[in-house]
Amino acid sequence: MEDRRIKVLELGWEFPPLINGGLGVACMGISKALAKKVDLAVIVPKAAPDASYDGFTLRGVNTLSYGELQTTEAQPYTYESCAMVSKAPINLDPYASTEGTPGTVTFTQEGKLLFSKVHHADLDLFTGKEDLYAGDLARKVIEFSKICAIMARKYDFDLVHAHDWMTYLAGVEVKRATGKPLVVHLHASQFDRAGADARGWIYDIEKYGMEQADAVIPVSKYTGTVAAGHYGIDPSKIFPVHNGADPVRVFHSKKKFPEKLVLFLGRLTAQKGPEFFLQIAAKVLEQTDNVRFVMAGTGEKLRQLIETGAFHGVGDKFHFTGFLNKAKVNELLSMTDVYCMPSVSEPFGLSALEAAQFNIPAVISKQSGVAEVMKGALKADFWDVNMMAKHIVDLITDDELYKRVAEQSAQDIKNSNWDTAAEKMLRVYHHVLGW
Amino acid sequence: MNITLTFHAHQPNRLIPYDFFKIGEHAFYEDDELNGRVLSAVAERCYLPANRLMQQLIELSDGKFRFALALSGVILEQAKYHRPDLIDSFARLAETGAVEFLAMPYYASLASLYAPSEFEEQVQEHVQLIEQLFGCRPTVLWNTGMLYDNAIAAQVCDMGFEGIMADGNSRMMSNRHTNDLQCAPLIDKTKTLIRNRHLSNDLANRRVDPTWSEYPLSPYTFADWLTRQEGQVVNLSMDYETLGERQPDTTGVFEFWRTMITAAVFNGNTFLTPGEAVRKFPSTGTLDCPNPVSCSTYGTTTQWNGNVMQQEAIKKIYDLEASVKASHDSDMIHVWRKLQSADHFHYMEKSNGFTPYPSPFDAYIYYMNALADLQVRVKREAEMNKAFDSKNLA
């Protein structure tokens, strides 16, 4: 074992303060904790111009000049990954359950692009105001991988660590260009977003990235079984590492109404199981009217859910808030009695941990990573609305049980921090490097 | 020919964007500022100039021109608060003796369909308001959206009204004679005045429709059409907002009406109020209308209760009747009744373009949150009363 800090090149897609969802938050948590143990440099497509970070460097492709990419021109290297891809959907939303309509991405010279083919226009992809996930995402992913492969040659590092499918191509290209081992992190897969039958460009890249990687880090054992079972990845190179949760300022406020409050928090997409939450609410309300439900968040299913709620006749006890900012979410958490996460497939489920920080007992689906961490939470299969409803009724009617579950949750979250996660990642690095 | 003319005026109480966080905390649901602003604008463009025109026509015709107004309690309440000059303007019309005020459910609600005893109470509240403001007691009822069926007619008869207005809708009513008075089955004391849908809509809609074969309609032509009608009485009825609001001043709407009414009087037609008509003419037969009809485009109630959001909202507001009334808290009962206005449900209709909300789904969410707040208040008050009662007993 070499007696020095490992040097890691991390490839991310979104990074605070420029974030769309949970991925950026997780990457930040990982980077901050890892930086205490390794020498860390991060490359992302877009960095905020005035952002600075303790312990690691962050470079945004949007801050590169064209000239910086020309310096390695002399060394011949053929971009390879795109040879695999001749057609790609041009509108891809990584948080949506369906991919966009297929358009065509055209490549020159039998799919082989040279470094010299990075054009001004390619860099412009990342400097504009356009959302990272908007427009021609497929081209952004491909250009990012080309540019990373060039940039990587200027970094001194021992291994490359790529987060989610948007950076997997880049990770593979960096590995090819430098010969350094590749670790890919699986925060969420197309299996979670679109179900067991999902196939397509994103699925292919996920599979390709994990196959080419020397180690795969899923955010839970549950997601590890998805990688092995659904993507056919060799289980011996899968090393699950649970996410941590950043401590939040916890406060409690008094509800303005007498009923208990049960909260669902998340995007209203099939993956999160919002329809099941509605059915659970209807079941609970059959047994007690001393309860209100809140569905916080927005998404493609919002309108459909509103009508389904009306159909179930629960509209006076089931409230939709639409999108809420962090302050409003915390206000809601501060008055919530029970947190419910009936996700159909949840790689991790950070929000349940955040709820636990507010001392809120959780009722969660077994198809979630966080279920492995939260031993005290009440669990059921996502489709078992009767069991979910029973858990909620038990919690709001049995004070003893409520106290017990809340106390166990407090224990559970003690070990859920990013330092513990980084320690485990370090062990994976050592394994990969053979140190 | 005998002619009655009835204008209906109403303004909704639009709600604020009432979100979840307000439940239990924010007891005022209405966007007072917006409601006042709209009322004021419509008063300037429509109600005040139209009242002036009607007053002139009454004076110029020596009282030969007579008409009726069906003003909701909600608009009169808004006017008292935001535009008292509008009340004065209506009161001056009342003083001419040529204007009859019709009874309505005070809150322009659907209570006649969902809560018959509540319907009666709202009509009584409206009758009292009309007596107090204009010094006359209504004898004819104009239900919300002209909602009408056999059961409503029977109840209105029990309530002692001499007449009720219904829209002439051939699909829903058998044995209908638009220009004759009829009675509902087994009813003889209350006559049904049937709105001449065709002629009314000529004035309310088609007059400004360039694709209409008669466009542009001459006021003399229309007066001749009236003169040539057959039957006991032709009943014209439409929203008062037709004058100056739906049809802006620039379409010549005020000039059209001035000329048309004057020509109709000159032709020897007789203007009556609906109350005078039901006292003057006997019923010519039985009108069977088993299902509710309204004066909406389709003649049904679907604009209020056609989708699940509307159905749930209606069910939940009327579910509160017993507990709200048990509170004996007149403010709370008033708030509950204002939430019954049919507008709230109309805003949840998916094809409704006339809405203050971003979408029918938002209309539903704001409404249900406000309703939840009312539920919380009702529950709280019931518990307080209970605690108070048990203390008294002890």
**B309 CB near a chain A CB, below 8 Å?**
yes
Residues B206 and B72 placed together within one structural domain of the fold: yes
310-369 of A, contacting B, C-beta below 8 A? 310-311, 313, 315-317, 319-321, 328, 331
Chain A residue numbers with beta carbons less than 8 Å from the beta carbon of B377 are: none
- Same domain for B152 and B100: yes
Task: Report in angstroms the alpha-carbon separations of A341 from A214, A268, A354, A379, A393.
Answer: 33, 12, 12, 10, 15
Residues of B in contact with A321 (CB under 8 A): 19-21
Q: Report pLDDT for A108.
A: 42
CB contact under 8 A, A307 and B24: no
Judged by a CB distance cut-off of 8 A, whether residue B371 touches chain A is yes
Contacts of A256 in chain B (CB under 8 A): 23-25, 376
Question: A315: distance to nearest CA of chain B, Å?
Answer: 6
The mean per-residue pLDDT over the stretch A193-204 comes to 87
**How confident is the model at residue A150, as a pLDDT?**
87
Question: Which pLDDT belongs to residue A132?
Answer: 77
Distance from CA of B26 to the nearest CA of A (A): 10
Is domain A7-244+418-433 classified as CATH 4.10.520.10? no
- Answer whether residue A282 shows pLDDT above 70: yes
d(CA A150, CA A152): 6
Q: Give me the total of CB pairs closer than 8 Å, taking one residue from chain A and one from chain B.
A: 61
**A258 touching chain B per CB within 8 A:** yes
Smallest CA–CA separation between A382 and chain B, in Å? 26
Contacts of B364 in chain A (CB under 8 A): 306, 310, 315
Domain identity same for B261 and B317: no
Structure tokens belonging to residue A300: 């493609």
Distance CA A416, CA A362 (A): 16
Do A319 and B307 count as a contact with CB atoms less than 8 A apart? no
Coil vs helix vs strand at A51: coil
Which residues of chain A are within 8 Å of residue B371 when distances are taken between CB atoms?
A: 316
CA distance B221 to B136: 35
CA B260 – CA A39 distance, rounded (Å): 90
Q: Using a CB–CB cutoff of 8 Å, tell me whether A84 touches chain B.
A: no
> How far is it, in rounded angstroms, from Cα B304 to Cα B391?
45
Average pLDDT taken over every residue of chain A: 88
**Is residue B293 domain-resident?**
no
Task: Say if B79 falls within a structural domain.
Answer: yes
Residue B292, domain member (yes or no): no
Residues in chain B: 394
What is the reported pLDDT for B256? Answer: 98
Q: Does B315 touch chain A (CB under 8 A)?
A: yes
Task: Using an 8 Å CB-CB cutoff, list chain B residues near A292.
Answer: 23, 372
Model pLDDT for residues A87-140, shown as the tens digit of each residue: 445 455 666 666 655 444 444 444 444 443 566 667 777 877 777 777 778 888
- The per-residue pLDDT for A96 is 61
A76: confidence class by pLDDT, cuts 50, 70, 90: low
A317–B372: do the CB atoms touch at under 8 Å?
yes
Are B309 and A319 a contacting pair at CB < 8 A?
no
Give the minimum alpha-carbon distance from A134 to chain B in angstroms, rounded to a whole number: 25
The predicted structure's pLDDT at residue A80: 59
Does residue B296 form part of some domain?
no
CATH number at residue B135: 3.20.110.20
pLDDT value for A21: 75
| pLDDT for A264 beyond 80 | yes
Q: Poorest-confidence range of A26-35, A114-123, A175-184, A300-309?
A: A114-123
| The token pair that represents A139 in the structure block | 């081209």
**Same domain (yes/no): B375, B256:** no
pLDDT band at A78 (very low <50, low <70, confident <90, very high): low
The whole-number average pLDDT for the span B41-69 is 97
SS3 category, A266: coil
Q: Which of A286-295, B99-108, B284-293 shows the lowest mean pLDDT across its residues? A: B284-293
**In this model, does residue A368 exceed pLDDT 50?**
yes
In chain A, ranges of CATH 3.40.50.2000 domains: 7-244+418-433, 260-412
Evaluate whether the domain defined by A260-412 bears CATH number 3.40.50.2000: yes
ipTM of this predicted complex? 0.89
Same domain, B197 and B319: no
Domain that holds residue B136: 2-280
CA–CA separation, A12 and A168 (whole Å): 10
Q: Decide if pLDDT at A383 tops 80.
A: yes
Distance CA B348, CA B343 (A): 9
Closest-CA residue of chain B to A323: B19
- Cβ–Cβ contact B323 with A under 8 A: no
Which residues in chain A are contacts of B21 at CB distance < 8 A? Answer: 321, 328, 331
Convert the pLDDT of each residue in B300-316 to its tens digit: 999 999 999 999 999 99
**Residue A71: what pLDDT?**
56
| Residue B291, in any domain of the structure | no
The total number of structural domains that make up chain B: 2
Q: What is the DSSP string of A159-224?
A: EEEEESHHHHHHHHHHHHHH---EEEEES--HHHHH-TT--SHHHHHHHHHHHH-SEEEESSHHHH
Domain identity same for B222 and B363: no
Residues B312 and B271 in one domain: no
B308: contact with A, CB 8 A cutoff: yes
Nearest to B114 by CA among B318, B290, B303: B318
Tally helices (H) and strands (E) across chain A: 15, 16
| Residues of chain B with C-beta less than 8 angstroms from the C-beta of A335 | none
A352 neighbors A377 (Cβ within 8 angstroms): yes
Instruction: Using the predicted structure, report yes or no on whether residue B123 has a pLDDT greater than 60.
Output: yes
Same domain, B86 and B210: yes
Q: How far apart are CA B204 and CA B214, in angstroms?
A: 14
Residues in chain B closer than 8 A to A255 (CB atoms): 24
Instruction: Write down the pLDDT at residue B190.
Output: 97
Regarding whether B270 and B177 lie in a shared domain, the answer is yes
Determine, yes or no, domain membership for B295: no
Domain shared by B101 and B229, yes or no: yes
> Measuring CA to CA, which residue among A401, A409, A321 is closest to residue A364?
A409
CB contact under 8 A, B365 and A313: no
Do B221 and B276 lie in one domain? The reply is yes
Contact A331 B375 (CB under 8 A): no
What's the mean pLDDT in B318-341?
97
A288 pLDDT more than 80 = yes
Residue-wise pLDDT for B73-100, tens only, equals: 999 999 999 999 999 999 999 999 999 9
Phi and psi dihedrals of B214, rounded to 5? Answer: -95, 0
Handedness of CA B254, B260, B261, B262 (dihedral sign): positive
Cα separation, B182 vs B278, whole angstroms: 10
B25 at interface of A, judged by CB pairs closer than 8 A: yes
Who wins on pLDDT, A244 or B298? A244
For residue A181, cis peptide bond before it (omega within 30 degrees of 0): no
SS3 per residue for chain B = CEEEEEEEECCCCCECCCCHHHCCCCCCCECHHHHHHHHHHHHHHHHHHHHHHHHHHHHHCCCCCCEEEEECHHHHHHHHHHCHHHHHHHHHHHHCCCEEECECCCCCECHHHHCHHHHHHHHHHHHHHHHHHHCCCCCEECCHHHCECHHHHHHHHHCCCCEEEEECCCCCCECCCCCCCEECCCCCCCEEEEECHHHHHHHHCHHHCCCCCCCCCCHHHHHHHHHCCCCCCEEEEEEHHHEECCEEHHHCHHHHHHHHHHHHHHCCCEEECHHHHHHHCCCCCECECCCCECCCCCCCCHHHHCCHHHHHHHHHHHHCHHHHHHCCCHHHHHHHHHCCEHHHHHCCCCCCCCCCCCCHHHHHHHHHHHHHHHHHHHHHHHHHHHHHHHHHHC
Determine which of A259, A263, A316 to mutate to test the interface with B (most B C-beta atoms within 10 Å). A316
Which of A257, A289, A298 best probes binding to B when mutated, by most B CB atoms within 10 angstroms? A257
